[in-house]
Chain A
Amino acid sequence: MQVRAENISKRYASMAALDDVSLTVGSGELVALLGPSGSGKTTLLRTIAGLEHPDSGVVYYNDRDASESRIQDRGVGFVFQHYALFKHMRVIDNIAFGLRARKKNKPSDAEIKRRVMELLDLVQLSGLDRRFPSQLSGGQRQRVALARALAIEPSVLLLDEPFGALDARVRKDLRRWLREIHERTGHTTLFVTHDQEEALELADRVVVMNKGKIEQSATPDEIYDTPATPFVFSFIGESSVIPVQVGNGRATLDERLLDLQVGNLPDGPAQLYLRPEDVAMVTDGGPGIPGLVVSTRRIGGMRRVTIACGLARHRIEFDAGAEIPIANSQRLQVRVIGGRVYGAGVEGYETEKLAASATSDFKWAKAEGWLDR
């Protein structure tokens, strides 16, 4: 089943939750909607499910206008962030709910029981069928919720931050497991997340949203390697931003030429976005940008070094081998070996400024575990 949302707009009070968004999810595809809180990703998901009505725009299920059918008849498997299990029903009754609610082709009781047991097996919860939701852990509850959604043999599976309420460890396990289930059942699947790692690891295609619009829709590799906008660059992975000058197709920092492709950006001020791996320490005495070490911290087998460089003391982060001794206040030289330059005029200055300031906000929000509910 292919799902197509066309020109969806939705406003809440004065805020545009969705601004003329179009999205196609191919049959059997596993797509992630990624974005910060307030980016409209959950609204888009709920609109596709039929839980929200768009102000304008149409949702098609295989070329059929979905607004013509009631939500009950759409065949949508929806999984909620906070599970939304029926608290007063046992696991078995939760999963059987959709089958028992059927008016046409309602299976016999024995058939329902057989199907429920099959699903419990699929979500690896066999033997817990007599439990109540309150007697299960968070991860188990979310698996019951998934089994309940799968029971109606949905044409599309929609998941709203399915692992958002779980702790990091369970999250990782469930992620792998959801991928396996997807491969086995082949449902067209769309899930919402604010966790970039989750989106990149799990999805065939990642759709990055910001302020009610889609910033980029591409494979995880493309999203990481060739981010279309400064926002995508700064939202995915670690990044540093420094202002540079573009002239004659080359970028310069403090009048020092950088070895970078700038494409066809016009001359003038621009922003250079760097990932930690785009910066290398100069160890052979060659030319480089001088910098002063501000802080270092250990990340796995590497050491993440923050330096203040250039005349304006811009902060740049890069990774150095843990075996290289680097101390605070040490002077060193770095070379830019990658990164992307976004022109102020081309991308729109406003977007860029927001993206830059958003970066620090996201880091803070990530640290607080607060992003998007």
Chain B
Amino acid sequence: MSSPKPRKMRQAIGEGRWTRLTLITIALIFLGLMLIAPLLVVFVEAFSRGVGVYIDALAMPDTMAALRLTLLVAAIAVPVNLVFGVAAAWAIAKFEFKGKAFLLTLIDLPFAVSPVVSGLIFVLLFGANSVLGPLLDDVGIKILFAVPGIVLATVFITFPFIARELIPLMQQQGAAEEEAAVSLGAGGWRTFFQVTLPNVKWGLLYGVLLCNARAMGEFGAVTVVSGNIRGVTTTLPLHIEILYNDNKAAAAFAVASLLALLALVTLAVKTLLEARFANSLAAQRRH
């Protein structure tokens, strides 16, 4: 690469102008092709048959049911993982105990396993041929092909997000402030709410957003356990697939645009948050 004639001061690790331009161009083209273009296509296709079809697709009872179910699942999965994530991060960052490494590995499991496999685990666990399934069936509890199964699968898939966000942050901060708080007479809850929580609030919020985005968008694990009963066990991603397979492309894209919109809102909030606490976390970003 050619480098410009030495001018004034140059950054020690600065690259030549052409190197920089090339790298930036490659990154932009890639982003454009792989991310922005598909997103645009979603919206273009959604309106390809006109605004009427778009509104009809969204107003369909099945769509509304899917939206309700998606929001319900997220509304259960996110708080559950909020509690679990904070508890796990607290335990791992602040205490020494046997099995800590094992717990850390377990938290990563949903990232490592394919979502479809995760879904199958629940089928094996609660299916007609399992031990648990018939037992629960006898007392009238249906897990598979019902809302509980979808919630369980979603909780499983999304549980690393908050814990993973908090652990490095809490480890970096250490336990000195908590020790100071207890030595000053504060009990466990006061220490947690007044000292620990304020110190991790941005990381926590970021983790919640990521967790929420995934909870609303999860497809693989949910499709295995849901049984795709229209209007009953279809979340938005499943509903989109059904519409698409029914050759209702415009309607499918219309619903997809709704899901994309939810994701965009999440992204916008995330960007706003990052601007506020980028310094403290940038070095340890995991995903």
Number of A residues, CB within 8 Å of B: 26
Q: Which of B41-49, B133-141, B160-168, B172-180 contacts A (4 or more CB under 8 A)?
A: B172-180
A101 touches B183 (CB 8 A): no
CB of B190 closer than 8 Å to a CB of A: yes
Contact A97 B182 (CB under 8 A): no
* A84–B198 CB distance below 8 A: no
Q: Are A101 and B198 in contact (CB under 8 A)?
A: no
Evaluate contact between B185 and A73: CB separation under 8 angstroms: yes
B184 within 8 A of A: yes
Q: Which of A72, A80, A88, A102 contacts B182, CB < 8 Å? A: A72
| A97 and B195 alpha carbons, distance in the complex (Å) | 10
Q: Would you call B184 and A97 a contact (CB within 8 A)? A: yes
Given contacts A87-B199, A88-B199, contact A82 B176 (CB under 8 A): yes
- What residue of chain A has the Cβ atom nearest to residue B201's Cβ? A88
- Given A86-B195, A88-B198, A88-B199: A98 in contact with B185 (beta carbons within 8 A): yes
User: With the chains together, A78 CA to B176 CA distance in Å?
Assistant: 11
How big is chain B's contact interface, by range? 10 to 19
- B52 interface residue, CB < 8 Å from A? no
Considering residues A78, A82, A101, A152, which has the most beta carbons from chain B within 10 angstroms of its beta carbon?
A101
Residue in contact with B184 in the complex, picked from A50, A51, A98, CB distance below 8 Å: A98
B184, B185, B190, B198: most-surrounded residue (chain A CB, <10 A): B184
Q: Among the listed A86, A101, A145, which residue makes an inter-chain contact with B187, where contact means beta carbons less than 8 Å apart? A: A101
Give the interface SS of chain B, mostly helix, strand, loop or mixed: helix
If the complex has contacts A72-B187, A98-B184, are A80 and B198 also in contact, measured as CB distance less than 8 A?
no
Residue B58 at the chain A interface, CB threshold 8 Å: no
B179 contacts A51, CB within 8 Å?
A: yes
User: A309 at interface (Cβ–Cβ under 8 A)?
Assistant: no
- Among A72, A80, A87, A145: residue with most chain B CB under 10 A: A72
- A77 is an interface residue with CB less than 8 A from chain B: yes
- A 65-80 contacts with B by CB, 8 A: 71-74, 76-78, 80
Which residue of the partner chain, among A77, A82, A85, A87, contacts B183 with CB atoms under 8 Å? A77
Per-position binary interface string of chain B over residues 185-222, scored 1 when its CB falls under 8 Å from any chain A CB and 0 otherwise: 11100100011001100000000000000000000000
Chain A residues at the B interface, C-beta cutoff of 8 Å: 49-51, 71-74, 76-78, 80, 82, 84-88, 97-98, 101-102, 145, 148-149, 151-152
Nearest first, the 6 closest Cβ-Cβ pairs linking A and B are A98-B184, A84-B176, A101-B186, A84-B180, A78-B183, A88-B198
Q: List 24 A-B contacts (CB under 8 A).
A: A51-B179, A71-B183, A72-B182, A72-B187, A76-B183, A77-B183, A78-B179, A78-B180, A80-B179, A85-B177, A86-B195, A87-B177, A88-B198, A88-B199, A97-B184, A97-B186, A98-B184, A101-B185, A101-B186, A101-B190, A102-B185, A149-B183, A149-B184, A152-B184
